[in-house]
Amino acid sequence: MIALTGVAGGARRTRLPRAADRLPLGKSGLKVSPICLGMTSSPETVVAAYESGVNFFFVTGDLHWPLYDPLRRGLATLLQGSPSRRQEIVVAIVSYLDNPLFSALQFHEVIAEVPGLEYVDLIIAGAVSSPESFYSRLDSIARARAGGHLGARAIGATFHQRTLALVADHYDLLDIGYIRYNSAHPGARTDLFPFFSGRRSSLVFNFKSVMSRVTREMFDALRVPASYWLPSPVDYYRFVLSRPEIDGILCSPMLPEEVKELASALERPPLTGDEEEYMVRMSSAVHTAVLT
């Protein structure tokens, strides 16, 4: 029998962010939805996300290029249907290249691939994992933005090392930073969230929100009473967005129906402390196979 009680610390939100909300993207002057759409399986999902209020899209410039083809085609559909939409949407292009360091080629390849895109709004250093990589790549993307040839107004990074996210926060180096926080990896509650400066202008978004979620098969294998709550995929997004330290999420709904399900879930209240802790303990029990 699992002990699934306890209270998670920290401030609580009274309302979850909604797709139609708009947040200032650092000091860029741009405004983005708290939902950032990444990899998907169909162009129709991109259109459905936009119609639900999403104006923020995340495309790879190199790694995983084939997997982002539906997103690129969806963006083309949006822009070809109404060229004026280009002023309404914010497109981020992420590069994972370390060497050669941030050649503009991969950014231009995305621009050339999507009719009507014309420029990139936000350039992102992907998977920053060391101080040396962070500082050199920060310099590169800052130079690329300053050069003006991409049209970029904002810079960001995705972090695989949370201490680097704290450096970016304390020195206000970015317009947006992406971190990993979920019920199976809740360490940010103790080594990141309490140390945010509160002075930053940048946004903090989460990625891999549904990573290691508990499936029905995993849940049944625990042999807990049927009355116990099995969180749905969208509850893992609610888990993340219940934290006021996180402004939004990078998510990958595959189908238009999943976009609608997420939008509906965000109309619900934030998780309570008990619900949050329940999900952490459930994930821990499943992924360590330890029943406490």
pLDDT > 80? residue 4: no
Q: Please state, in angstroms and rounded to a whole number, the distance separating the CA atoms of residues 191 and 63.
A: 29
Query: In whole angstroms, how far apart are CA 219 and each of 182, 238, 276, 290?
Result: 17, 19, 17, 13
Across 80-211, the runs of DSSP E, i.e. the strands, are 90-95, 122-128, 154-159, 176-180, 203-207
pLDDT in tens, 138-183: 888 888 888 888 999 999 999 988 889 999 999 999 999 999 999 9
Q: What is the pLDDT of residue 101?
A: 53
Which H/E stretch holds residue 286?
Answer: helix 273-288
Contacts of 268 by beta carbon, 8 Å cutoff, 6+ apart: 16, 238
pLDDT in tens, 102-111: 567 888 899 9
Q: What is the pLDDT of residue 120?
A: 95
Across the chain, the runs of DSSP E, i.e. the strands, are 23-24, 31-32, 35-37, 56-60, 90-95, 122-128, 154-159, 176-180, 203-207, 248-251
Q: Please state, in angstroms and rounded to a whole number, the distance separating the CA atoms of residues 271 and 238.
A: 7
Domain ranges of the chain: 23-214+228-269
pLDDT in tens, 198-207: 888 899 999 9
The whole model's pTM is what?
0.91
pLDDT in tens, 250-280: 999 999 999 999 999 999 999 999 999 999 9
Mean pLDDT of all residues belonging to the chain: 89
- Domain range 23-214+228-269, CATH class: alpha beta
Radius of gyration of the CA atoms of the chain, in A: 19
The residue-averaged pLDDT of 14-41 equals 96
Across 160-268, the runs of DSSP E, i.e. the strands, are 176-180, 203-207, 248-251
Contacts of 26 by beta carbon, 8 Å cutoff, 6+ apart: 154, 174, 175, 176, 201, 202, 203
Q: What is the pLDDT of residue 272?
A: 94
Of 4 and 90, the structure prediction assigns the larger pLDDT to 90
pLDDT > 50? residue 6: no
The residue-averaged pLDDT of 89-105 equals 79
Q: What is the pLDDT of residue 197?
A: 82
Residue written as token pair 């003006």 = 148
pLDDT in tens, 217-241: 888 888 888 889 999 999 999 999 9
pLDDT > 50? residue 3: no
Q: What is the pLDDT of residue 267?
A: 94
